[in-house]
Amino acid sequence: MFSITHKSIKNDTRPFSLSSALTENVVRITTRIGKQQSEYKKSLLELTQGMNIMMRGPVGSFYLKDESPTLLIAGGIGITPFRSILKQIEEARNEVEKQIYLLYMGENKKFLFKDQLDEISKRTSTSVTYLDSREELHQEINKFSSLYMNNGKYYIAGPKSMVESVSNYLQGNQVAKQNIKKDAFFGY
C-alpha cells in the first residue's frame, strides 16, 4: 500500500504489486499514467529523487505456493506481479523448477517487460505466450486445462473486468474455485 505524503490529497493510498523480485534489492512498482490523471497519479509524477512515499505491507496472498503446474494469466498492466515472481524464479534456479506457463494479453499489441520475459523463458522452464485476442487466450487456457485440469493452479492479474471474465471462463470449464487466485486491479 503506497501513500502520498508530500501533500494532502483525498484518497492518498493505492495498492500496487511489486514488480521487482527479492533478489533485485530494490522496491519497484510499475504503473500506467494516461492523459486523464487522478490526483494520486499527478502526485506520483511530482516525486523526485530524495522525496518520500509511505509504504506498508506486503499484503495479500498472490504468490506461488506449491509445485503444481501453474498457469499465469496477465492482462496488460497485470503483468507486474508475474514479472516479480518469474524474476525471482530465474534468480533462484537451484530450486526445483516447476512447469510454469505465462499467457500475456497485451494492450494494443504492447507487452511491457517483453525482453526480460523472453530472457527468463530461455533460462528457466517457464513458457511465455503473447496473445492479443480473447479467442487465442481461451485456446491456450484449454490446452493447459486439458493437460492438468484441477492438478494445476491458475493465477489471474489485470483489470478487474478481465480478471472476472477469465475466472468465470475457468469455472465454466470445471476448474475449481480454490485452484484460482486473482489479483483484480481497480481503476482500469
Residue ranges that bind ligand FAD, judged by CB under 6 A = 14-17, 29-32, 34, 36, 38-41, 60, 77, 80, 183, 185-187
CA distance 181 to 179: 7
Phi, psi of 23 (to 5 degrees): -70, -15
In whole angstroms, the minimum distance from the beta carbon of 188 to ligand FAD comes to: 6
Closest-CA residue to 175 (of 158, 150, 156, 146): 150
Between 65 and 174, name the residue whose CB sits nearer to ligand FAD.
65
* Beta-carbon contacts of residue 105 (< 8 Å; ≥ 6 apart): 73, 74, 75, 76, 131, 132, 137, 158, 162
Between 32 and 134, name the residue whose CB sits nearer to ligand FAD.
32
Do 103 and 129 touch, CB atoms closer than 8 A? yes
In whole angstroms, the minimum distance from the beta carbon of 110 to ligand FAD comes to: 14
In whole angstroms, the minimum distance from the beta carbon of 92 to ligand FAD comes to: 22
In whole angstroms, the minimum distance from the beta carbon of 29 to ligand FAD comes to: 6
Between 138 and 182, name the residue whose CB sits nearer to ligand FAD.
182
Residue sitting closest to ligand FAD (CB): 187
CA distance 121 to 127: 6
Between 39 and 118, name the residue whose CB sits nearer to ligand FAD.
39
Do 54 and 3 touch, CB atoms closer than 8 A? yes
In whole angstroms, the minimum distance from the beta carbon of 135 to ligand FAD comes to: 26
